[in-house]
Amino acid sequence: MNILKKALLAGGCAAVLALGTNTVTAQPQGGGRGNFDPAQMKQQRMDGYRESLEIKDDAEWNAIQPKISKVYDAGRDVMASVMRGMRPPRRNNGGDDNGGGQRRQRGGGFFGAPSPAAEALQKAVDDKAPTAEVKTKLKAVQDETKANQAKLAAAQEDLRSVLTPRQEAIATLQGLLQ
């Protein structure tokens, strides 16, 4: 059951992030990340939500937009927790990932920098720490993930409280609500 919940949550978050296929962003050719700007992407998503929810009135949008933004941000945080497990494992070659004598730091990208709890757990795994230490750090990551999921659920309920039934249906179909 827990796996099913995680899969559904991951699917919902992926839908939140992948919505708005009618909004096309210019991407450089050649496979590079180019000038990826998470703030610009978020703004495009907000514009898409406003359009799909058929909100014409600025006052209505000003009341709803912060709540959508909270759902969006909380969904991103939950997705970051889920995606953390999909990264390839790091190799620890004498404590040096990049041949330069220092462990390479992972960049932030869309999901931001890895959480301190996740980094601490990764270090414990890399260092083959004692079982008790790994369990403690694992519990911290699990607690952080549960807190992110609770934050998302609360943000979704807050958003639901200001939407019409039609808007709620659209938001559900777009993955903003569960």
pLDDT, one tens digit per residue, over 57-82 is: 999 999 999 999 999 999 988 888 76
Three-class secondary structure of residue 164 per DSSP? coil
Taking only the tens place, the pLDDT of each residue in 139-160 is 999 999 999 999 999 999 999 9
The pTM of this model reads 0.66
* Domain spans in the chain, listed from the N-terminal domain onward: 37-86+111-178
> Is residue 175 a contact partner of residue 13, using CB atoms and an 8 Å limit?
yes
Q: Which residue has the higher pLDDT, 63 or 4?
A: 63
80: its two tokens: 């970051």
Helix ranges, the chain (H): 2-18, 38-52, 58-84, 116-126, 131-160, 165-173
Percent of the chain whose predicted confidence (pLDDT) is above 90: 48
Q: How many CA atoms lie within 13 A of 106 on its CB side?
A: 18
